[in-house]
Structure 1
């Protein structure tokens, strides 16, 4: 491969086959990724404001005791779980250009509402966070479903990585924003700085939702986007023919029989249910709680310093996702090995409590690598389920759903606020899920390759070209061959 070709593969993933396809990719990259990334940015911005508010005065002002902070997060997670599969199935019924922005407006209004409702830890707080979780659950798996409908396997990794990084950027920005708000707005109009965070987050969210109503293109089968010509709409569908995403139908009972009769739902759900728990360092703001518990740091420092972990998470996500598309093998599993090794090292450094403060900073920052597997895992699932759009919707939603089923109780057991600053149980749990992630990663890799072999054997029995099938089985590099094998298995 020449240098020029390598650079093009690095930029595009699969190199567009024509000038028309290159122009189409530029358009869908801009219009799909711009809205999805902004949507996910505000999703994480509005989700992480509770953790930033907690360490910036909310705990003291509301007289929060024990594990009330964990309980608020658990209620949010319950709403997230309940909304996940229904939201993804609604994309089969309601155009995504309508459904996504509607959910976007809903959680933006609820975020704004939190500013006034949080006067004490009461049932109304739990209700707001529950419904906010339901609305926000539309974004992550829904977008991965949309990405899998527009992009081929060789294009998915990088786009998934960019999308996932936008959510991490929301977390990064939330900490910086909270510190700036606390410094400049604390006490203005009689409101605490942490209350202003909810107001400003809500204000940021609503215009982006309006942008989605105007430009989001739905899926190739039914897009009417004003910026795509008729030829480009046809090309968008033609280039995805092998993925069987040309039509969207209402779910039938046979869908669930089909999903439960294959290994894909079980394997992919188990993979993210376990590997997603390696993100507990960031999702529970353990570094912020650690800094607050050991003392000696200002509110601004407690908000700023954890941003280093998020920055490393963004870098790891983008580098790993780009690498998986750049390599011809499309291997996703090495990324999961990388993040598991990083979280094991980080946990050991924190468990050795006598270690220097600098080493603990290094450990928390290194733990940001745990987010690298998120984009890669969902790109892998999109690739595995490429031949069945409805199955893909269920599998993607279920992956995140089962991870959040564990998240609903996992922090209450292993990362309680009262366990700060050491989180000893949590670090041992982190080592355990990291090792388990390695085992399940091997299992999914094995099952995928077995599916290829079975598909090759059955295809050969029908009299098709044996050379084509051997090539597909040996290197797994042909998306079209891989999809055909999946269909016949």
Structure 2
């Protein structure tokens, strides 16, 4: 009998071991199944957002840009003569819109964390559309300046607002391509604005006693207003909020997964219930916020050619006004394609710094060529380089900043506003780079744009080095705590 007892014990142990093994296997299978279901749900969420949110903000950003910058096309009509503009009046009109734009961005983004984006953003779209259309009713320089300041205030909530909204719905590896979609709205607006202006000037100039440039503001403002009304239906609120388009677009399960996947993607898990004042304090004290701010400022300064590009092309002497406006489109269409490709590569390779640095280097070559030669075809080719380079780089800058500066709603909203405000300073002073007596080469302007492009490229490398150091600290801390940390994208 005693000789059988050890065998009983052995059989019992083996059964217990088999049970534990089977339990572990079953647990692993269940975990794997849950993970597959989670990922499938993530894909459904992203697909739904890509079919509603992204196209809507693409269209709105297109009109945001058209309504603010159609003054560049109006300049080629009787705009200057009708309003009695001369000297630096045009540059002031271009620049002054950024005063209201800067003043409104930070308070607007702070408000956005406390209200529903699905109502707040479309509301401002409708307001700015009316203000832009009212430009047609101005008769002098002072009236134009008043409208432009109000236009800047009304347009300010949109870009940092949707910038923030996208970063609340998409993870780090998904953002660059979606920001490229948003940014390509600007590129497409610039490409089509000349064609639209050419058609309106040719077909409506003088109709009902209104000059072509007035019809330009009225038509684009009216269409923009219609898109603002549509946005009330298609823009969601924040993840987890069963309102806006999220009410009919996402199921309860998808709403829960949307919240969880953003929590998992965060570099650090801070208290998301912090006050706006505390969020602002953290943003101001974060050195990364200020480096990105100066990157954006350099970018917007190097982008200063945009308001004068129709005038630059006019100086090439390619033909009539219609031909000139048509010739402004190809560089921007190519720029849009380049921006998409660079953003796609950035997301796929999970890299940001070099995807900004190398396109900016291409832009630098374009600026150098513009300064160095009088040959018209070569200078027109150079414009393809600096337009594609700056657009390609900017499509990645936005996503890099949004996924780096913060993880909490209040901190992120404040940081995004600070970055955009500082960036807009480049739009304030860059119109004054272009002096009429230097047309059509604008040597001073091209040299200054070149300098800011070099500054932008240098700051990107500095940021990459800084984030490498931050990642080493996160890895060391993770090893001490026995966890695998989420790292900053370089």
- Scaled by the length of structure 2, what TM-score is found? 0.87
Mapped contact 1:161–1:375 kept (Cα < 8 A): yes
Question: Which residue is equivalent to 2:429?
Answer: 409
Q: Offset of 1:177 from its aligned partner?
A: 0.6
1:304 aligns with 2:304: no
Residue number in structure 1 paired with 2:191? 172
> Which of 356, 363, 368 pairs up with 2:387?
368
More displaced, 304-313 or 94-103? 304-313
- Displacement of 1:347 in angstroms is 1.4
Residue pair 1:92, 1:250 contacting (<8 A) in 2 also: no
Q: Equivalent residue for 2:125?
A: 104
- Post-superposition Cα deviations, 1:114-149, rounded to whole Å, max 9, x if no partner, equal 1112x2212x21111111111112222211111110
Change (3 A) 1:427 1:26: same
**Partners in 2 of 1:297 and 1:245 — Cα distance?**
59
Q: Partners in 2 of 1:253 and 1:90 — Cα distance?
A: 12
After superposition, where does 1:112-151 map in structure 2 within 5 Å? 112-117=133-138, 119-122=139-142, 124-151=143-170
CA contact (8 A) 2:104 2:157 kept: yes
Aligned to 1:236: 258
Once the two structures are TM-superposed, the CA of residue 209 in structure 1 deviates from its matched residue by 0.7
SS of the aligned residue for 2:240 comes to coil
What is the match of residue 302 of structure 2? 278
Q: SS of the counterpart of 2:403?
A: helix
Q: Secondary structure at the match of 1:289?
A: helix
The question of 1:204 aligning with 2:223 is answered yes
Residues 1:77 and 1:200: Cα distance change in structure 2 (over 3 Å): same
Structure 1 residue 186: Cα displacement: 0.9
Match of 1:397 among 410, 417, 421: 417
1:72-471, aligned counterparts within 5 Å? Answer: 72-117=93-138, 119-122=139-142, 124-224=143-243, 225=246, 226-242=248-264, 243=266, 251-282=275-306, 284-286=307-309, 288-293=310-315, 295=317, 297-327=319-349, 330-354=350-374, 356-369=375-388, 370-412=390-432, 414-461=433-480, 463-465=481-483, 468=484
Task: Compute the displacement of 1:245 (Å).
Answer: 9.1
- The Cα offsets for residues 15-74 of structure 1, whole Å up to 9 and x where unpaired, read as 996332222211111121122111101101111211110112212333321111100011
Partner of 2:9: none
Per-residue deviation, 1:401: 0.9
Q: CA deviation at 1:231?
A: 1.2
Structure 2 CA distance for partners of 1:315 and 1:214, relative to 1, 3 Å: same
Q: CA, structure 1 residues 417+399, in 2 after alignment: closer, same or farther (shift >3 Å)?
A: farther
Q: Is the 8 A contact 1:74 1:408 kept in 2?
A: yes
Q: Are the aligned partners of 1:281 and 1:364 in contact in 2 as well (CA < 8 Å)?
A: no
Residues 1:261 and 1:348: Cα distance change in structure 2 (over 3 Å): closer
Q: 2:141 is paired with a residue of what secondary structure?
A: coil
Residue 293 of structure 1, CA deviation: 4.0
**CA distance in 2 between partners of 1:245 and 1:200 (Å):** 47
How many residues end up aligned between the 2 structures? 449
Equivalent pair of 2:318/2:324 in contact (CA under 8 Å): no
Aligned to 1:482: 487
Aligned to 1:28: 49
Q: How far off is 1:339 after superposition?
A: 2.4
| Distance in structure 1 (CA, Å) of the matches to 2:203 and 2:161 | 37
Deviations 1:394-413 (A, max 9, x none): 2222222112123212321x
For 1:312 and 1:296, the matched residues in 2 are separated by 20
C-alpha displacement of 1:425: 0.8
CA contact (8 A) 1:220 1:246 kept: no
**Which of the pair has more CA radius of gyration?**
2
- TM-score normalized by the length of structure 1: 0.87
Q: Cα offset for 1:419? A: 3.1
* Cα offset, 1:106, TM superposition: 0.9
The alpha-carbon distance between structure 1 residues 359 and 373, as it changes in their structure 2 partners (threshold 3 A), is same
Can you give the 5+ residue segments of structure 2 that lack an aligned partner in the other structure? Answer: 1-35
Q: What SS class does the counterpart of residue 39 from structure 1 fall into?
A: helix
Output one character per residue of 1:197-231: Cα deviation in whole Å (capped at 9) or x when no partner: 01100111111111111221111032422221111
* 1:459–1:19 distance in 2 versus 1, CA, 3 Å: closer
8 Å Cα contact 2:122-2:232 kept in structure 1: yes
